[in-house]
Amino acid sequence: MGHGRPAPHHRRLLPVTVTGLTTERRANPLGVDAARPRFGWQLASTANGQVQGRYQVTVGTTAGAADVWDSGEVASRASVDVPYGGPALAANRTYHWRVRVWDAHGRASGWSAPARFDTAPSGWTADFIGAPGTAGLDGASWIWYPEGDPAVDAPVATRYFRRAFDVAAPGRAVLVVTGDDTADAWVNGVKVAASRRVTDSWKRATTIDVTAHLRAGRNTIALAAQNTSASPASVIAKLQGAVTVPTDASWKASQSGSAGWEQPSFDDGAWPAARVSAAHLAGPWGNQVLVPAPAPRLGKTFTVGKPVARARLFATALGLHETYLNGVKVSAERLAPGWTDYTKRLQYRGYDVTAALRQGDNTLSALLGNGWYAGSLGFAGSRRYGTSPWYSAQLIVEYTDGTRGEVRTDGSWTWTSSPIVSDDLYHGEDQDARIAAGPAQAVTVHTGPRPRLVAQVDPGVTVRQELRPVRLTQPRPGVWIADLGQNFAGWNRLRVSGPAGTTVTLRHGEILNPDGTLYTANLRAAQATDTFTLAGRGVETFEPSFTVHGYRYVELTGFPGTPTVDSLTGLAAWTAGAETGTFTTSDPLVNQLQHNILWGARSNLLSIPTDCPQRDERLGWTGDIAAFGATATFNFDTHGLLAKFADDMVDAQRADGAFTDVAPDVLGWAGKAGWGDAGVIVPYVLWQRYGDLSAADRHFDALARWVDYLRATSGADLIRNQETYGDWLNVDDPTGNDLTSTAFFGWSARLVARMAAATGRTERAAAYHALADQVAAAFTNRFVAADGTVGNGSQTGYVLALAFGLVPPQRTQAVADRLAAKVASRDGHLSVGFMGVENLLPVLAEHGHLDTAYRVLQQPGYPGWGYMGARGATTIWERWDGIRTDGTLQDPGMNSFNHYGLGSVGDWLYRTVGGLGPAAPGYQRLLVAPKPGGSLTAATTSLATRYGPARTEWSRGGTGLTLRVTVPPNTTATVHVPAASAAAVTAPAEAVAQGWSGGAAVYALPSGSYTFTVA
């Protein structure tokens, strides 16, 4: 019963077909800038045991042609990342390719259906254009009442300010104002602005057109600024246009506002002069103030006078863009072109617009938003790269008569107003449907240095799912709360009708207060507020273009009438990688954990892997993806996003070799163990999970510099004791910085050695392997006691020692036993943080403590994943106790309810509980090794690999077990069937027995679908 029978004769095998053609791992891509594009395909067959023996690829200028390159018959099983081998490809050309294969028995498939790819343009000749500069605070100063040093500390109080000035001739004038903590403004006695009453409202200034309130002669501006806590306080403002009036020492200030203080006739002669606290962009406020500006619509009308054969548009922005041709968006992508370090690299995308052109007049246009370039970056400041966004595009039209024409952005373009009054990724978007486009005005051409342009690597962000409210409540008169049932990242579509000028305000939050109102304290300074002002034209639909929120609940105020569930739709957006994996079990607790892991990933993979999607952070924290990278590859295709992020990290790497704590780097912090190591871990994950060594090869010198930096910042004994964030958010079980820093030093050295060997760098591989061995020996000598205790006995100390191979084989079991005892001492609960969570259950399961691993996994109480689910979580929390056991909330200063880091256990779920993992990079060989345990009676796991769909399904009852396995064509699998002996297993005929080991019968299995049973 334990041995497979010989496979049926090969004559019974069915021929294969070829499907799933990709170029650079994308289907029919445009703008490929690789000199030797890589091709991929999948084999499909109804027969078991299909393996590719040879392939032939042809590339031509038309479908089915081979006039560019014919590989000839190549004896190889390769079907992923097969490089083009023909002559140099021309720029901006469409190439067609196809492939056929022969199976291991020499029988040919038919030719595949043709695929195509477009090469990138040869150069970027288009200008970057935008609207002329808008109102700002340049030249203004922060001022306060003359008491102490308000840039350091000021009392809780409201202070009042006035400035009289003369206007010779009224004209357009705009007032920009903000105050720490709030600022309200009056012009000639009329209140024109009031700060939003939210945390750190001063970080978003108010911009108001005050033209109608000015008059010839004497005018007065009055400001009331409130300091709500003992902290720095000041107000800053600037009137500009017909007259310029900045806040400075010429303003008057008062501690009290007596009746009529804001009126022009008020006598402020007794008020002292205001004190200047700091210049604009200085003091404690720095560059953190965002001045809202309208989003312009840029456009150009051109004529097409003859039949079009082919047209390609290439577009990008320093900021964000939505591009239209003849009023229709050219793509469903949002937040394009994503976030990079714009001083070093800017992505563009190509579009096939052949069918969108028409004879006669055509209009190419774009909405232009601030995005990461000119908007807020939360606590990292505002306008880090520029003060306003810029757009660039070039349209290349080829006619049927062989001629061509181009339309590119330049000074001939014009701009008009759009309904978007202001936009910011963190603070929200304001739209006013009453705003007309107005007369076209000349654009401004950007004259500064332009970044290096590259074809977009990641698939971009799109709306992936729509969510309807599951309930509507009204906690207060005029205040409605829509519960969308799921925490996610995205925005809303609002449908509403009402009188012109009605403004509906939408605020966003993850949870509710006990009274049912919206809880926003944990958003910190992110205002996450959208406003929509109606035009009064029946049912109107609003949707923001250039903002994103992390939320489950939406607060609606100002809604005319009573909203219904049809009034609001949540639009969940994430990176546009295809759904790839599924995982389900017999335990609702584990299924909820998988749900939370999936939605945590969806919410935080938008252009870069972020820490959280809701508060004033949302940065590319490297430590989070270092832990979560392997898990991220399972649920949907993150190859492009991770490849882009590898580039982002290298762009941010310091000259001394240190990788930064966030990428793109906007904080200037670097060199932390477990964080900077992501620069090595992400390329390694790309290799192991996708079979793609290109990032490791392209960036190898950068990876080596990181390890060299670790060596240079370690002691002579190879113990590295440097500042780090440590085992972030552990449960009262800290691990020493010297232990964690040395452990990650050894791990990065080991991974770099493996990637050196895989990329043919033999000598460097030997050198880094030797270094990794030396670090492991130093780690054991310093931190591992004779009885197996590691460091101070923290769970994470044990986990790192085992997971990173830092303990000699003869001593690992003692260390694992100590870890299991430590878990038992906490009544089967974990105490790890970000550094230990990924590998806690794997090292327990791999060293004879599977029961302990399942006990931790299925814990319903705190701390554990089940506790989050029991508290209503629909994503992974930042903290194990975001909501404490007594129902109170953790510190709002750091309490995200959508943080994927602690969900890194997902990789173990898929590989060990489900039993589906890679035995060779990219799943060219599968390891099917489920380890049932705990109370689970069944689990099903599926994954769309580059070779085709793989699947495992097991169920058990009593002493019996059934395991069903699907292995994609052109791959093989090693299958471990849990059993008391090999004789207890009934295997399919195609399975070749390999013996029994570690509680499982082992088989080699070809492609196909099979069933194993255990008596």
Catalytic residue ranges: 617, 878
* CA torsion through residues 446, 450, 453, 458, sign: negative
Asked if 540 contacts 497 with a C-beta cutoff of 8 angstroms, the reply is: yes
Closest C-alpha among 524, 904, 526, 525 to residue 729: 904
Q: Give the CA dihedral 279, 281, 285, 288, nearest 10 degrees.
A: 160
Asked if 706 contacts 745 with a C-beta cutoff of 8 angstroms, the reply is: no
Q: Compute the C-alpha angle 133/135/139, nearest 5°.
A: 105
Q: Compute the C-alpha angle 847/733/870, nearest 5°.
A: 85
End-to-end CA distance of the chain: 10
User: How far apart, in whole angstroms, are the C-alpha atoms of residue 929 and residue 918?
Assistant: 10
Q: Give the CA dihedral 276, 278, 279, 284, nearest 10 degrees.
A: -150
In a 3-state reduction of DSSP, which class is residue 916? strand
Identity at 264, one-letter amino acid code: P
664 prior amide bond cis, ω within 30: yes
Tokens of 46: 């109804």
Residue 790 to residues 820, 825, 978, Cα–Cα distance (Å): 13, 16, 31
Q: What is the DSSP string of 74-120?
A: EE----SSEEP-SSPPPTT-EEEEEEEEEETTSPBPPPPPPEEEEBP
Using the structure block, give the residue that is written with the tokens 């790269």: 385
CB atoms near residue 5 (< 10 Å): 11
Asked if 591 contacts 585 with a C-beta cutoff of 8 angstroms, the reply is: yes
* CA torsion through residues 772, 774, 777, 778, sign: negative
Tokens of 326: 């003849």
721: left (phi over 0), alpha (psi -120 to 50) or beta: beta
Asked if 430 contacts 421 with a C-beta cutoff of 8 angstroms, the reply is: yes
Q: How many CA atoms lie within 13 A of 189 on its CB side?
A: 8
Burial zone of 872 (CB within 10 Å; 0-12 exposed, 13-18 middle, 19+ buried): exposed
* CA torsion through residues 492, 498, 500, 501, sign: negative
Asked if 624 contacts 947 with a C-beta cutoff of 8 angstroms, the reply is: no
Asked if 631 contacts 907 with a C-beta cutoff of 8 angstroms, the reply is: yes
Tokens of 76: 């190889």
CB atoms near residue 935 (< 10 Å): 11
User: How far apart, in whole angstroms, are the C-alpha atoms of residue 163 and residue 643?
Assistant: 55
* R_g of the chain computed on alpha carbons: 31
- The per-residue b/e assignment along 949-978, b for 16 or more CB within 10 angstroms, e otherwise, is ebbbbbbbeeeebebebbbbbbbbbbbbbb
Q: What is the DSSP string of 239-273?
A: EEESS-EE-STTSEEES---TTTTSTT---TTSPB
Asked if 16 contacts 41 with a C-beta cutoff of 8 angstroms, the reply is: no
